[in-house]
Structure 1
Amino acid sequence: MAEAKPYDLTEPVATPKTRALLARRLADIVGLPSSRITPRERWIVGDLLYDVIRASDLELRRRCAERLAPLSEAPHRLLRTLASDDFEVAQPILERCTALTDFDMMEIINSGTLQHRMTIARREALSETVAAALAAYGEPPVVERLLRNKTAHLAAPTLDHLVGAATEESSYAALLIRREEMRPAQAFRLFWSCEHIDRFQILDRFAVDRTILLEASEDIFPAAAGEGWSDPMVARILRYIDRRQRNREAAESSPFGSLEGVCEAMETEGATSDIIAEISRLAAVERRLVVRMIDDMAGEPLSVLCKATGLKWPFFLHMWRGLGRSGQSDQVEQARRVYDSLSVEKAQTVLRYWNLSAEDKG
């Protein structure tokens, strides 16, 4: 049997023209339909083409990528190699090749450049896994393109991550609000990172009343009262559902007489510790939530509090002026817009979501 001769490194290297012809022929074979070539033959030819492109210049690699991009059965190692190459080479594979798997794209995301990740973020029907990997890099241009991709699938943990990142990257908020995957809890957490126009859209889309919950749980309230509210989880959920927002019992012992009285006192005394504690007690919300509303330099959170607790608009102004802020400002106009747009029930939904979140952090 004749023995294969070892490759002689002293032999003349094939000319670029010959190598280009060889690469084109190998790529043609790789692209043959499955009726013409077996998987094993395709893998062997793919391995040969892999060796050729690794030792070739950028232009030849780019032409191979253009040839292989439309193929659905090309060997994955070959596709991954081209898709991880310089962006001029990788671009056609990243844009048009449907044969790339999630595993392929995860490797490319980790080894590629910003341009690679930008192009992947635009691909059709991105899986939750790939979208999470792109989001984890935290590159604003990539994240923004991902959020604009309506066919991408975003898992709840990815949205949670991006809602948190919106604190530093305000451009995310408007894009997140439009995502169909967004849930009320995420939207109401995002609210605190938004400008007025985005806050208004969040309230418009996610603030709903609780009619169905109230109708379905009418008999649970007396049952829970009969047990002395002994189950803290039941008590917590029913506080969310309840029609009442104010703590009427607390008002009977309040030195201010009512929540209205606290607001009037706040205008003259300011946001003292006692005032904040009394708002918290009478409005039945966590103290840390009241502090957050007061610290917010826009007026929307306090307007939600007022509407949810049945306070008339002048009592918002009492609190606002008690914070040393002007009653004639853009913030007041924006707060009034929110106040007028919300029903009491919808405002209560928002306030109670915030309060549940504050309780969870306690």
Structure 2
Amino acid sequence: MANAEPFELSEPVTTRTRAVLAKRLADIVGLPSSRITPRERWIVGDLLFDVIRASDIDLRKRCAKRLSGLTDAPHRLLRTLACDEFEVAEPILADCLALSDFDMMEIARVGKLQHRLALANRENLSATVSASLAAAGETPVIERLLRNKTCVLAMPTVDHLVGMAAEEGNLAHLLIKREELRPTQAFRLFWTCEHMARAQILERFAVDRTILIDASEDIFPMAAAEDWSDPMVTRILRYIDRRQRNREAAELSPYGSLEGTLEAMAMDGALPEIVTEISTLANVDRRLVLQMVDDMAGEAIAVLCKATGLKWPSFENFWRGLGRSLTSEPVPQARKVYDSLSVEKAQTVLRYWNLSMEDKGGK
């Protein structure tokens, strides 16, 4: 199996006779299937391959342009021309329908940035080719892929791009528009975004759980009768449950309630024991509360407050406890999020975050 390789010609020479021969061979390669058998096309393609390998760039450009309109052409010939200098390769990369997924993956591997940018513009790219283009991690190529509404992105590719968005912030607003983006990915992406992108994620993916709650109402007493012995059932029902707060823990809390804990935080700051108490009373992983503490914006804290039924003054106590001013820009942005979400939708977001923390393991 011959791979595509860039041209390495030291003294390419094209005589008039060679130019005419190349044109004739290209014409034969382009004949319809009714005029030429596959074996004949392969043989002529091999001959043309030898000619263009030893010819100058003008002849290679003419051959590439002639072959770009074909729907059936020898793949080694196409791959070789498509990996040539970009001015040679461009018509094949842009228009040639004869390129297979394998061809495009090979071109993505050995070609240059311009080649991958051209491939990323093609219509109806498969998930396999998109993954190959994204794998190099080149931001211009990825941006072009994300803007290409006809390409398909596989779930692992989207996962990879969501991870990249932490370092390449301009990818986030493009990812949010992709239909392939799933809630788990969107809520992970949330932490890398600015306010407007965060608001878009919440608007699109914060949904209530009414159907789930109604469908599983009778399962809660069944699980309780089994003493919650099935960890997987417990995990899923904790996501579905209407209640967010840990009522039993509130009875034992030295602060009396979640509201009381946040009042103490406003006075004493985000002490480790207060963070732990917020985690316990809100029934979320302590690492999630720490992530909210470290986040310089306020939307995530607003989600926590709304999901646990806290009034807005509790957000203000949380914010003061972090040593931040109530007149700072994040506060009105957080208020918009708080006011836009129902309790059920806020719980959906909070529980997705919490499940992701549990999936990471550890404490």
TM range, normalised to the smaller chain?
over 0.9
**Residue equivalent to 1:328:** 327
Residues in 1 aligned to 2:13 and 2:119: alpha-carbon distance in whole angstroms: 35
**Residue equivalent to 2:264:** 265
Gap change, CA 1:114 and 1:15, over 3 Å in 2: closer
Residues in 1 aligned to 2:323 and 2:203: alpha-carbon distance in whole angstroms: 29
Q: Deviations over 1:107-138 (max 9, x none)?
A: 11111000000000111111111111111100
**Residue equivalent to 1:227:** 226
Q: Deviations over 1:198-219 (max 9, x none)?
A: 0000000000000000010000
Q: How many residues align?
A: 350
Gap change, CA 1:198 and 1:15, over 3 Å in 2: closer
Q: Deviations over 1:53-84 (max 9, x none)?
A: 00001111001000000101111111011001
**Residue equivalent to 1:122:** 121
Contact 2:14–2:55 at 8 Å: present in 1 too? Answer: no
Residues in 2 aligned to 1:285 and 1:74: alpha-carbon distance in whole angstroms: 59
Q: Deviations over 1:140-177 (max 9, x none)?
A: 00000001111111010000011011000001100111
Higher RCO (Cα < 8 Å, 6 or more apart): 2
1:69 aligns with 2:68: yes
Give 1:16 deviation, angstroms: 2.2
**Residue equivalent to 1:338:** 337
**Residue equivalent to 1:274:** 273
**Residue equivalent to 1:197:** 196
**Residue equivalent to 1:3:** none
Residues in 1 aligned to 2:148 and 2:127: alpha-carbon distance in whole angstroms: 13
Residues in 2 aligned to 1:278 and 1:42: alpha-carbon distance in whole angstroms: 75
Q: What SS does the corresponding residue of 2:297 show, helix, strand or coil?
A: coil
**Residue equivalent to 1:354:** 353
Residues in 2 aligned to 1:34 and 1:152: alpha-carbon distance in whole angstroms: 29
Matches within 5 A, 1:1-362: 16-362=15-361
Structure 2 residue identity aligned to 1:310: G
Residues in 1 aligned to 2:359 and 2:240: alpha-carbon distance in whole angstroms: 17
Structure 1 residue identity aligned to 2:158: L
Give 1:14 deviation, angstroms: 8.3
Residues in 2 aligned to 1:236 and 1:41: alpha-carbon distance in whole angstroms: 63
Runs of 4+ displaced beyond 4 Å: none
Residues in 1 aligned to 2:85 and 2:14: alpha-carbon distance in whole angstroms: 23
**Residue equivalent to 2:7:** none
Gap change, CA 1:15 and 1:256, over 3 Å in 2: closer
Q: What SS does the corresponding residue of 1:348 show, helix, strand or coil?
A: helix
Gap change, CA 1:271 and 1:14, over 3 Å in 2: closer
Give 1:37 deviation, angstroms: 1.0
Structure number with greater Rg is 1
Residues in 2 aligned to 1:242 and 1:74: alpha-carbon distance in whole angstroms: 60
Q: What SS does the corresponding residue of 1:311 show, helix, strand or coil?
A: coil
Residues in 1 aligned to 2:262 and 2:34: alpha-carbon distance in whole angstroms: 80
TM-score, normalised via structure 2 length? 0.95
Instruction: Give unmatched runs, 5+ long, in structure 2.
Output: 1-11
Contact 2:187–2:349 at 8 Å: present in 1 too? Answer: yes
Structure 1 residue identity aligned to 2:295: D
Contact 2:130–2:151 at 8 Å: present in 1 too? Answer: yes
Give 1:23 deviation, angstroms: 0.8
Identity of aligned residues (%): 73
